[in-house]
Amino acid sequence: MAATRLRDVAERAGVSIRTVSNVVNGYAQVSDETRQRVEQAVAELGYHPNLLARNLKRGRTGLIALVVPELDVPYFSELARAVVAKARLHGYTVVIDQTDGEPDRERELIMRGASAALFDGVILSPLVLSQADLARRDAAGPLVLLGERIAASPYDHVAIDNVAAASDATEHLLALGRTRIAAVGDQPYDTGETAQLRTRGYREAHAALGLRVDDSLIVSTHKFHRSDGAAAMADLLDHPDGPPDAVFCYNDLLALGAIRTLLTRGVRIPDDVAVVGFDDIEAGRYNTPTLTTISPDKTMIAQLAVDRLVSRLDGRSPGEPTELWAPYRLEIRESTGG
């Protein structure tokens, strides 16, 4: 049961601990004969290096933590997949951690995760963390932020231009001739910075055409799940001025929930109500109708984040924290007549 150690292998092979280490790591010159003897002992004993000890001595672990709010939200799991793949190219292993949006969990992970030397660096998609929290961070390892823009934080930050993307989405609906466009997913409080940016884009698209926004068509949701979208859509259908003729949802799950409500109530999509989402998750591509959506380049987001983190780890790019922008596209599909 007790794990075999370098020492056990050394005894068996009749060499010093140091030599075994050299063989295992491919260091230095080792004669063929000794190497074979050691390798045989390793195989017989089933030796594997104790990574804890190795990492302690080496001062690095090769682990990157990816901290996301909810793993079963497809956007995050798809992103996680991309991050894992990119990190592996650099020889890093990604450890995924889920916070459930609990502030304490988020804090604990960024504070302790890296400084505790368990991870070399952290990629964080913050949900609730404030600028103050980040400022208080005293951990050693580098940190790259995803998604949310936290103004003036001393960290690198990868995002897409939420305002522009939301504006594009809204503009698309306006161009279809829709006049009463609802926005679903606003979060006019502290932690809803992303949502607020999308609302701003929604307003700007209207303003650009000299149109007024009916604020009663902007619906807040607590979370960004299908159930929230379904509930919000139900409310909108009962709007005193009648239902809207289009809905811009701040993510695809909201949109899929909204679509479910629409179809249940016999509303035709896109004829009666056009729907646009945000994130381009796989579910939207197979829904009926397929979902028009803003498609952030997740691969690029992952790559920018990982590249930046790794270059910080390597001591390259010691410069100022940077805003890195990933591209996005508007994917026009059936839910808006595409």
Partner DNA sequence: GCTCCACTCTGCATCGTTGCAATAGAATTC
Partner DNA sequence: GAATTCTATTGCAACGATGCAGAGTGGAGC
Question: Given the rule CB under 7 A, which residues bind DNA?
Answer: 2-3, 5-7, 15-19, 21-22, 24-25, 27-31, 33-35, 47, 49-50, 53-54, 56-59, 117
Q: Which is nearer to DNA, 42 or 144 (CB)?
A: 42
Cα distance between residue 256 and residue 286, in whole Å? 11
**Least Å distance between CB 151 and a second copy?**
24
Phi, psi for 282 (deg, rounded to 5): -60, -35
189-196 CB contacts, 8 Å cutoff, 24+ apart:
190/130, 191/127, 191/128, 191/130, 193/148, 193/149, 193/150, 194/147, 194/148, 194/149, 194/162, 194/250, 195/250
Contact between 98 and a second copy (CB under 8 A)? yes
Of 52 and 175, CB closest to a second copy: 52
Per CB under 8 A, 228 contacts a second copy: no
Residue 5 interacts, among a second copy, DNA, none and using kind-specific CB cut-offs from 5 to 8 Å, with DNA
Give the footprint of a second copy on residues 180-219 (CB under 8 A).
Answer: none
Rounded Cα–Cα distance for residues 71 and 79 (Å): 10
Round to whole Å and give the CA distance between 193 and 268: 32
Q: Counting contacts by CB under 8 A, is residue 331 touching a second copy?
A: no
CA–CA separation, 126 vs 104, rounded Å?
12
Stretch binding a second copy (CB under 8 A), from 132-140, 189-197, 212-220, 234-242: 132-140
Interface residue with a second copy among 17, 118, 164, 213 (CB under 8 A) is 118
Distance CA 237, CA 267 (A): 9
Angle at 163 between CA 157 and CA 164, to 5 degrees: 105
Which of DNA, a second copy, none sits in contact with 98, Cβ below 5 to 8 A by type?
A: a second copy
Q: Which does 30 bind (CB under 5 to 8 A by kind): a second copy, DNA, none?
A: DNA
| 286 part of the interface to a second copy, by CB under 8 A | yes
147 contact, one of DNA, a second copy, none, CB 5-8 Å limit per kind = none
Q: How many CB atoms lie within 10 A of CB 133?
A: 17
Q: Does residue 46 bind a second copy (CB under 8 A)? A: yes
Backbone φ and ψ of 72, nearest 5° = -90, 10
Token pair for residue 45? 């004993």
Q: E-assigned strands of 54-175? A: 63-68, 93-98, 121-124, 143-146, 156-159
Tell me how crowded residue 320 is: count the other CB atoms within 10 A of its CB. 7
Q: In the complex, what is the shortest distance from the CB of residue 113 to DNA, in angstroms, rounded to a whole number?
A: 15
Tell me: does residue 89 bind a second copy (CB under 8 A). no
**Which of 17/283 has CB closer to DNA?**
17
| CA distance linking residue 10 with residue 34, whole number of Å | 11
Q: Of the candidates 161, 159, 89, 164, which has an alpha carbon nearest to the alpha carbon of residue 124?
A: 159
Single out the residue of 19, 22, 61, 153 in contact with a second copy (rule: CB under 8 A): 61
Instruction: State the nearest-atom distance from the C-beta of 181 to DNA, in Å.
Output: 55
Interaction site with a second copy (CB under 8 A): 1-3, 46, 48-53, 55-56, 61, 70-72, 74, 77-78, 80-81, 84-85, 93, 95-98, 100, 111-112, 115-118, 138-140, 226, 230, 256-257, 259-260, 263-264, 282-283, 285-288
